[in-house]
Amino acid sequence: MRAGTEYKVTTERPSVNINVKELDAGSWVMFELPGFTTASSGTAQDSLDALRKAGDTSYYKGNGSLWVKIVSTGDVLGTGPGKGPGAGTSLQVGR
């Protein structure tokens, strides 16, 4: 995925886990999820424009879709042998 990009996700699944990793702090990715209504975390926004301007992980519900913007906190590299990037930033969406 490319930071600063919007994606439309179509699926019949009742829930979807979304995770972004290896993004610089403050980088974001936005998803439109038709038919979805809930997000497990993030700040509710009152418009799509407000969502696009949000600086932290947020969501907006409107026009039959849930829009989520995931803003990376930055991956922290572990220390020692076999340690790599952190878990990234994630949330779960549902219908």
Could you report the average pLDDT of every consecutive run of 10 residues in the chain (95 residues)? 89 93 87 97 97 96 96 69 64 94
- Whole-structure pTM value: 0.83
For residue 11, the model assigns a pLDDT of 95
CA 64 – CA 15 distance, rounded (Å): 16
- Please state, in angstroms and as integers, the Cα–Cα distance from residue 95 to each residue in 14, 29, 87, 90, following that order: 6, 20, 25, 17
